[in-house]
Structure 1
Amino acid sequence: MSDHPASGARRALSGIRVLDLTSAVVGPYAAKIMADHGADVIKVEAADGDVIRWIAGPSPTPGMSGKFMHLNRGKRSIVLDLKQPRGREAVMRLVARADVLLINMRPQAVERLGLDYDSVARANPRLVYCAMVGFGPGPYRDTPAYDSIIQGGAGVAALSEMATGQPRYVPYVVADRTVGLMALNAVMMALFQRERTGAGQCVEVPMFENMAALMLSEHLYGATFEPPLSPPGDLRLIDPQASPVKTADGYVCLTTNTDAQAFALMRVMGHPEMQTDPRFSTKQARAAHSREYFGIRAEAIARRTTAEWLALLKEADIPAMPYNTLDSLRTDPQIVASGLLREVEHPTEGKMWDLADPTRMSGRDDAPPRPAPKLGEHGAEILAEAGYSPEEIEALAGSGALGPSSA
């Protein structure tokens, strides 16, 4: 259990120490949320640091990209060369004091480093070990995986082809972030089980199979049944018109799932006769004839301005909101009122926009989070907590197994 003061006394994960051996997005995202809720997260990096330090946009000083800052606040960084025996020994000493270990290397690499579950569990039987892998057991098991690879393989990119004729990755690392949340859920359940049993366990979260399960649960559609009642693909979602709707001067976002919402829209559009049209009079009929329904909707909405439509839709209690760009999103009145974006002063990067945790918990003490770390910033501090003497830390650094701090 962690005794670091940054843990905070009134946070759900106060006293939980997380050893974060992950990089890029999937693991760091899960670990960041744990840090937001009071966990002491120790980020172990290689000498060149997490790749997201370098490939995610400019920063005032090298290696501190905006995406890295958002994914790694609240953590402490140590640089260890895990290919060296002394580096592995240091990690195992950290493992012995950890509650959770997160790792997203390929299984063969993990075994070569001696960081497989069986090896680390001998050092700490209470450890919750979470491996985020590209693929579970099977022919793809030890092949590399990134978000785009998983999007293409799991059918996410194919949805764009079904709608527009061209396959396209979602321009957002949706697989990494989704599976990161799945890993977090699994770790929380394993910690809860440990409270009951006293024992840790191995948790494996494969990206490909998890994203495939999500895609199939959404889009098997009539092919769920045997024999199939339709081809796979939810018609309402793959229709090319399932997008923000063009107004006279911009776009508006709206959805009508219930009969009450759809009938209200028909009246507001000036087409009350659609309520008795057999193509549109029931939820099932509208789903089967979504292309015709969306076409009538597009023609009607193009005749008024965005402001006019937002007022009419609000009055009719039809779910709708303005269409935002990445620029306008930052000044959206709801975003401003929520305090999501907050200006903070980073010790090395200066003024920056930090993202508050939108989830509210009445039992949480929302103390300011620790800023995202420079590469290796806390190495000596972390090792001292693990029982290393100043002489041992100096020897570790001299051997090259401990990277220098860039703080």
Structure 2
Amino acid sequence: MADDRGRIPEKPDAGVLRGVRVADFSRVLAGPYATMMLADFGADVIKIESPGGDDTRAWRPPVDDAGESTYFGSVNRNKRSVVCDLATPDGLATARRLASTADVVVENFRPGVMERFGLDEQTLRETNPRLVFCSITGFGRDAGAALPGYDLLVQAVGGLMSITGAPDGEPSKVGVALVDVLTGLNAFSGILLALRQRDATGRGSRVDVDLLGSLLAALTNQASGTLATGRSPARLGNAHPSIAPYELFRAADRELVVAVGNDRQFAAFAVVLGHPALPGDERFATNEARVRNRDALRGILEPLLSSRTAADWVDAFTRARVPAGLVNDIAEAFAFAESLGLEPVVTSVDPETGRASRQPATPIRLDTAPAVHRTPPPPLGAHEARWTDER
């Protein structure tokens, strides 16, 4: 059970999802990402944690100014934390009470765990027929139920690593837990759909999302090409299987990317390079021809692009409406977004302690009901143990 280190802060009074209560039993990334998105738009998210807390509280370094894990902080703002030890009668009673008063329950335990504690969809729906129950798994609830759902594992078995990395190198993972993020977004979308359906029918429904299915759907053109031809694509490094030139090049000082998406852009690209006749070469006259002859094209482009700085090229290409950009590190990426007026960073401040947390802003912008970044990620068990239904 939670201790009394802090009172329950006020429920959200703004946002398109105000009045929606979420009992969040999820941990690590996919589930917490989904519930943070709900919280950003006004849902009252109660993060239900074990006495040891979400695993990511211990995933450090790095840490923020308060010594808290930045991994945990990245997906847990705007939430309230209650500790429930499900192995004890009091903890289990508190968890059931929270779930029974919720509009949405989100969980990502191994299949069977919620049933063991009487927190499964069927049991909860007996007293809460309007409940939206979202279950997140690695590989579904049937034959894949026993498989551990770790992002790296899914990137491997789901095919993403097979198309990521240099052609002559080893398969590579993406530099962030992308499958978890995609799955969290799918869970967020599914919950919103279920709430909309509840508005129409008066009854809640079950939302099932799994990491493998989320990745396979996100493979989009690579997946459709495989299904149509029966052939799996090979790794191309930073090149594109269907567009050229659409890849990374080395300039005089650093790397840049060029993303030429059509013949008009290629003609403008050639003019900036000082070779306006290049599109007249039958090897490069169309995108399809450029893809077939990508190695020959790259052999021409590399020495040209190495003659000037990356920033010079990006400026010249941008003025000619040719998509190009520097290969920024993450700090540079935030600075670039700020230079465009995108306001990519938000700071949440605890009104009682003054503790602040800087995080990436929610990327969804609603003009009539914008996201509100109210509070930083909560300390473990920071909110009142004696829980009552506030509605």
Q: TM-score, normalised by structure 1?
A: 0.84
Structure 1, residues 255-291: CA drift from partner, whole Å, max 9, x if none? Answer: 0111111121122223333312233211222233333
**Are 1:237 and 2:240 matched, yes or no?**
yes
Secondary structure of the residue aligned to 1:369 is coil
- Shift of the 221–122 alpha-carbon distance from structure 1 to 2, 3 Å rule, reads closer
Secondary structure of the residue aligned to 1:380 is coil
Secondary structure of the residue aligned to 2:335 is coil
Residues 6-405 of structure 1 correspond to what in structure 2 (within 5 A)? 6-9=11-14, 11-59=15-63, 64-161=68-165, 163-215=167-219, 217-220=220-223, 222-225=225-228, 228=230, 231-233=232-234, 236-237=239-240, 243-332=247-336, 334=338, 337-343=341-347, 345-346=349-350, 350-364=355-369, 367-380=372-385, 383-385=387-389
1:219 CA displacement: 1.3
Instruction: Tell me if structure 1 keeps the 8 A contact 2:246–2:257.
Output: no
CA distance in 1: counterparts of 2:217 and 2:357, whole angstroms: 38
CA distance in 1: counterparts of 2:337 and 2:370, whole angstroms: 26
1:248 CA displacement: 0.4
Of 296-305 and 37-46, the range deviating more from structure 2: 296-305
* Structure-2 residue corresponding to 1:393: none
1:145 CA displacement: 1.1
- Shift of the 145–300 alpha-carbon distance from structure 1 to 2, 3 Å rule, reads same
Secondary structure of the residue aligned to 2:74 is helix
1:343 CA displacement: 4.8
Q: May I ask how many residue pairs the two structures share in their alignment?
A: 380
* Counterpart code for 1:232: P
Of 338-347 and 132-141, the range deviating more from structure 2: 338-347
Instruction: Tell me if structure 1 keeps the 8 A contact 2:34–2:184.
Output: yes
* Counterpart code for 2:20: I
1:160 CA displacement: 2.5
* Counterpart code for 1:340: P
The structure richer in helix per residue is 1
Instruction: Tell me if structure 2 keeps the 8 A contact 1:220–1:233.
Output: no
Secondary structure of the residue aligned to 1:384 is coil
Secondary structure of the residue aligned to 1:145 is coil
* Counterpart code for 1:282: T
CA distance in 1: counterparts of 2:47 and 2:61, whole angstroms: 21
Of 155-164 and 240-249, the range deviating more from structure 2: 240-249
Structure 1, residues 104-128: CA drift from partner, whole Å, max 9, x if none? Answer: 0110223222222211211211000
- Shift of the 120–299 alpha-carbon distance from structure 1 to 2, 3 Å rule, reads farther
Secondary structure of the residue aligned to 1:43 is strand
* Counterpart code for 1:208: L
Of 261-270 and 232-241, the range deviating more from structure 2: 232-241
Structure 1, residues 303-330: CA drift from partner, whole Å, max 9, x if none? Answer: 1112220221022111122321123234
- Shift of the 120–51 alpha-carbon distance from structure 1 to 2, 3 Å rule, reads same
* Structure-1 residue corresponding to 2:3: none
Instruction: Tell me if structure 1 keeps the 8 A contact 2:348–2:376.
Output: no
Of 324-333 and 203-212, the range deviating more from structure 2: 324-333
1:336 CA displacement: 7.2
Instruction: Tell me if structure 2 keeps the 8 A contact 1:341–1:356.
Output: yes
Instruction: Tell me if structure 2 keeps the 8 A contact 1:134–1:146.
Output: yes
Instruction: Tell me if structure 2 keeps the 8 A contact 1:19–1:94.
Output: yes
- Shift of the 34–27 alpha-carbon distance from structure 1 to 2, 3 Å rule, reads same
Q: Percent identity between the aligned chains?
A: 31
- Shift of the 191–335 alpha-carbon distance from structure 1 to 2, 3 Å rule, reads farther
* Counterpart code for 2:384: G
Q: TM-score, normalised by structure 2?
A: 0.88
* Structure-1 residue corresponding to 2:4: none
Instruction: Tell me if structure 2 keeps the 8 A contact 1:221–1:234.
Output: no
- Shift of the 334–299 alpha-carbon distance from structure 1 to 2, 3 Å rule, reads farther
CA distance in 2: counterparts of 1:193 and 1:105, whole angstroms: 25
1:243 CA displacement: 4.4
- Shift of the 241–161 alpha-carbon distance from structure 1 to 2, 3 Å rule, reads farther
* Counterpart code for 1:359: I
1:22 CA displacement: 0.5
Instruction: Tell me if structure 2 keeps the 8 A contact 1:345–1:352.
Output: yes
1:245 CA displacement: 2.0
